[in-house]
Amino acid sequence: MPKLLGRIGRSESVNGWALVSPAVVLIGIFGLLPVLMSLQLSFQKSDLLTPATPWVGFENYRKLADDPVFVESIKHTIVYTALFVPGTMLVGLFVAAAMNRSLRFISVYRTAAYVTMAVSTISQGIIFLWLTDRDYGLVNAALNAVGVPSQPFLASPSQALFVIVAMTIWGWTGFSVIVYLAALQGVPAELHEAAAIDGASAFTRFRTITVPLLGPANLFLLVWLTLNALQLFDEVYATTRGGPLRATTVIVYYLWDRAFVHFDAGYAAAMAYALFVVILVITAVQFRVARRYVHYS
Amino acid sequence: MIRSTSRQRLCIALAAVLSLVLAACGGGGNSSSSGPTKITVWHGYQDTEGTAFKALLAQYNKEHPDVQVSDLYSSNDLVLQKVLTAVRGDSAPDVAYMFGSWSPNIAQIPKLVDMSSYVSQPDWKWDDFYPAERAAATVGNKTVGVPALVDNLAIVYNKKLFADAGIEPPNANWTWDDFRSAAAKLTDPSKGQYGWLIPADGSEDTVWHYLPMLWDAGGDLLSPDDKHSTFNSEAGVKALTTLQQMAVTDKSVYMDTTNENGPKLMNSGKIGMLITGPWDLSSLTDISYGVQVMPSYAGAAGGHQTISGPDNWVVFDNGDKRKQAAVDFVKWLTAPEQVKSFSLATGDLPTRTSVGEDQAFVGQLDQKLPGVGVFVGNLSNVKKARPTVQQYPAVSEALGQAIVSVMLGKDQPADALNSAAKTADAALAGS
């Protein structure tokens, strides 16, 4: 018997490897290999053009600390993330709670809430460019109608980043609605019934029953949205190209600009790795803190 | 931020690049001694241009049975990234269309064919190309490519808006003061109407609108040895002050931070004047427009100027046989007859002086696309070219930020230019 089991075990593992190997190979070539090669690149001076890529040690990483634009881009990224993540979660929770009931045409509303996720980020950028245009945008037309003067929005260094926050919250709300809606449907109805019999108001029930049970959904959204916020690129590329006056230059945009506009790929790779470490640390902290607050049952 | 949709796009792009690489490898393996020599051209021509280009290719393939040229569309903006990838993977195209502003950088690619020994042969008629084109194709003692496209900037104006405002349309002797006062009169905030529109994202698109003004005022971007910046001169301040007066004092300029709105707003009658190139003319279908050369500064040293952004056909070395076939093809493609037929079919400006000075031809072209004749004549006003130094992107970026900060009213011309010059000098010294 043990012999037979061993053979089955071995053939099972061979089968297993055979089944996963296409995925492993693809992820290896297109995921892991570039990640490792860019680590190597971050220690070199490379313009992607010339074959000579001299080894410069930690020079690229040292340069990061002295680069005022990089420091500025970190600030913009932090401001963006700090507004975008809670904003998307709150709006998503509100919409999901509003839709977590049996209404006529509920599936229409749910589809409508999710549909922004189907809009490509580039189209979304172009739509918002026109909506928020200083002279011809609908948003300013609406503001003017209630007596508020026109705002420059994306054309203003002091407003552009906030417009991008609003725009991306709009784009991501559907995602957080879906996650929250699923979590809300998992909240047992009998708990609510029992509490209602004991005389708890709807708000109290939401606060003391629903919210604690949303812990896993909160954690997932927090981690996932933070990951994405720190890597903001498409929306900036499509709207402001990091401007005006670098007001919306976030880390990944600056990295792209260094590598493909200024041909400083080694430096850009160092920036990418600095960001990678930051993301790793933030995610680890999020999971650690979450252990105390998130209950899975 | 990369959401699933864009990630999918990325995967598709990767797959496309991969298949490109594979296709190119397949082509490479096929260069056996028998059969035609196969070469590939990467270009960004679509629509009318694409049809005209394919017709030229078909003609060439028919007339040269020993060579087979195939083409591959690749967006011009992205072609450099793709070529770099392909060069790394040892599957470079034989010929690629490249922006002239990349010349100093692509000159570093080892597989690039230095065309200088070819184009110096008399039958290439190298001197027949406009001087600015030749300058943009030359980096040090290398000739990195052969002119594929030339353009320049001129005023395109809305005739009706000028008539409504009761002002004379621009003439060839306009000064920047005339330009400024016309823009102010054309501006009507209540109608959302502006005298002028400038691309204001601080990119090279912003900078190249400023450069002819700088040259016009008698200034220059860099010192003759390209070692340090000189744009923070009196002339530089004068040119930037004009922009400041128009944007901050008169508020007669729509600052387009997207660089996309120009032709759309112009076509919907919201903008009195654009300073742009011939490529925008075909989208101005709803208005009656005129074209006039750019203004100059009264009595300034530089004289009338404009700027040109020539692009090149660049040849890569994939073995002697393919290299020779590619060089021969480029020679044919850029010969006067082909320049003429392509220009006529597309409305693109002719890249050769002999064609541009052919009045019958220019008349024909202007009939096809009204106003383009002025652009052809304007080619002789292109007196200077951007410096072909590798640090140009850094210089351009510093200057672009300075221009935008002044036009947004955040800085004064002299201060902004001085600090930009400092940044640019650091980049120039850092090589």
Segment A170-204, tens digit of pLDDT? 999 999 999 999 998 888 888 888 888 888 888 88
Nearest to B315 by CA among B148, B128, B76, B121: B148
- A50:B257 CB<8 A: no
CB distance A91 to A85 below 8 Å: no
Interface test with B, best of A30, A41, A49, A88 (most B CBs within 10 A): A49
d(CA B323, CA B330) in angstroms, rounded, equals 11
Q: Taking 60 as the threshold, does the pLDDT of residue B215 lie above it?
A: yes
Give the count of alpha carbons within 13 A of B345, CB side only: 18
d(CA B169, CA B157) in angstroms, rounded, equals 8
Residues of A in contact with B201 (CB under 8 A): 240-241, 243-244
3-state secondary structure of B255: strand
pLDDT of res. A150: 86
Does residue B404 belong to the interface with chain A, where contact is any CB pair within 8 Å? Answer: yes
Does residue B160 belong to the interface with chain A, where contact is any CB pair within 8 Å? Answer: no
Question: How high does pLDDT run on average in chain B?
Answer: 87
Residue A44 lies in a domain: no
Residues 6+ apart with CB under 8 A from B119: B126, B143, B146
Residue A45 lies in a domain: no
Write the Ramachandran bin of A48: left for phi over 0, alpha for psi from -120 to 50, otherwise beta.
left
Residue B160 lies in a domain: yes
**Which of B341, B360, B381 is the last residue in one of the domains?**
B381
Residues of B in contact with A48 (CB under 8 A): 84, 88
* Average pLDDT of the residues in B65-73: 93
Q: Taking 80 as the threshold, does the pLDDT of residue B31 lie above it?
A: no
Nearest CA in chain B to A251: B1
Does residue B6 belong to the interface with chain A, where contact is any CB pair within 8 Å? Answer: yes
d(CA A296, CA A290) in angstroms, rounded, equals 11
Q: Taking 80 as the threshold, does the pLDDT of residue B26 lie above it?
A: no
d(CA A171, CA A66) in angstroms, rounded, equals 35
- B14:A263 CB<8 A: no
Same domain, B15 and B124: yes
What's A208's domain CATH number?
A: 1.10.3720.10
According to DSSP, the residues that pair with A215 across neighbouring strands are none
**Which of B381, B399, B416 is the last residue in one of the domains?**
B381
Tell me which residue in B84, B258, B410 faces A48 most closely, judged by beta carbons: B84
Residues of B in contact with A261 (CB under 8 A): 393, 397
pLDDT of res. B301: 62
Same domain, B167 and B109: no
Q: Give me the number of domains chain B comprises.
A: 2
What's B107's domain CATH number?
A: 3.40.190.10
CB distance B171 to B292 below 8 Å: yes
pLDDT of res. B27: 41
Nearest CA in chain B to A259: B81
Residues 6+ apart with CB under 8 A from B211: B221, B307, B384, B386
Residue B149 lies in a domain: no
Same domain, B252 and B134: no
pLDDT level of residue B191 (50, 70, 90 thresholds): confident
Neighbours of A212 (CB within 10 A): 13
Intra-chain end-to-end CA distance of chain B, in Å: 33
- A262:B106 CB<8 A: no
DSSP state for residue B40 in the 8-state scheme: E
- B257:A171 CB<8 A: no
Residue A2 lies in a domain: no
Residues of A in contact with B410 (CB under 8 A): 157, 245
Residue with the bigger pLDDT between A189 and B287: it is B287
Does residue B5 belong to the interface with chain A, where contact is any CB pair within 8 Å? Answer: yes
Interface test with B, best of A132, A135, A258 (most B CBs within 10 A): A135
3-state secondary structure of B110: coil
Closest-CA distance of chain A to residue B12, Å: 12
Q: What is this model's ipTM?
A: 0.75
d(CA B284, CA B394) in angstroms, rounded, equals 34
CB distance B154 to B374 below 8 Å: yes
d(CA B172, CA B180) in angstroms, rounded, equals 15
Tell me which residue in B84, B258, B393 faces A129 most closely, judged by beta carbons: B258
Nearest to A81 by CA among A269, A266, A283, A272: A283
How would you class B5 by CB atoms within 10 Å of its CB: exposed for 0-12, middle for 13-18, buried for 19 or more? middle
Residue A120 lies in a domain: yes
pLDDT of res. B71: 93
Q: Give me the number of domains chain A comprises.
A: 1
Whole-Å CA distances, B261 to A18, A126, A158, B199, B200:
54, 11, 22, 9, 11
Same domain, B293 and B407: yes
Residue B244 lies in a domain: yes
DSSP state for residue B61 in the 8-state scheme: H
Tell me the residue range of the domain where A132 lies: 60-293
Residues of B in contact with A47 (CB under 8 A): 105, 108
Same domain, B27 and B106: yes
Residues of B in contact with A37 (CB under 8 A): none
A5-14, B153-162, B174-183, B295-304: which range is least confident on average? A5-14
- A240:B257 CB<8 A: yes
CB distance A239 to A170 below 8 Å: no
Does residue B21 belong to the interface with chain A, where contact is any CB pair within 8 Å? Answer: no
Residue A4 lies in a domain: no
d(CA B47, CA B262) in angstroms, rounded, equals 21
- B410:A260 CB<8 A: no
Residue with the bigger pLDDT between B308 and B423: it is B423
Handedness of CA A140, A143, A149, A153 (dihedral sign): negative
- B202:A243 CB<8 A: yes
Q: What percent of chain B has pLDDT over 90?
A: 60
Same domain, B77 and B184: no
- Each residue of B179-192: b (16+ CB within 10 Å) or e? bbebbbbbbbeeeb
pLDDT of res. B253: 94
Q: Taking 50 as the threshold, does the pLDDT of residue B8 lie above it?
A: no
Same domain, B301 and B374: no
* Average pLDDT of the residues in B399-414: 95
Nearest CA in chain A to B110: A50
Residues of B in contact with A168 (CB under 8 A): 1
- Alpha helix positions (H), B316-391: 320-333, 336-346, 353-356, 359-368, 372-378
Same domain, B269 and B373: no
Q: Taking 50 as the threshold, does the pLDDT of residue B5 lie above it?
A: no
Residue with the bigger pLDDT between B47 and B340: it is B340
Same domain, B249 and B397: yes
Give the count of alpha carbons within 13 A of A244, CB side only: 27
Residue A22 lies in a domain: no
Same domain, B19 and B111: yes
Same domain, B395 and B329: no
Residue with the bigger pLDDT between B53 and A12: it is B53
pLDDT of res. B18: 44
DSSP string, A217-260: HHHHHHHHHHHHHHT--HHHHHHTTT-STTTT--HHHHHHHHHH
Segment B292-348, tens digit of pLDDT? 999 999 876 666 788 888 899 999 999 999 999 999 999 999 999 999 999 998 888
Tell me the residue range of the domain where B293 lies: 154-308+388-429
pLDDT of res. B16: 43
pLDDT of res. B420: 95
Question: Along chain A (297 residues), what's the average pLDDT of each consecutive run of 10 residues?
Answer: 55 84 90 90 83 83 90 94 96 90 82 85 89 89 90 90 95 92 87 86 85 88 93 91 90 91 89 91 88 72
Q: Find where tokens 């500064």 sit.
A: B297
Segment B352-374, tens digit of pLDDT? 999 999 999 999 999 988 999 99
pLDDT of res. A6: 54
- B110:A51 CB<8 A: yes
Same domain, B31 and B65: yes
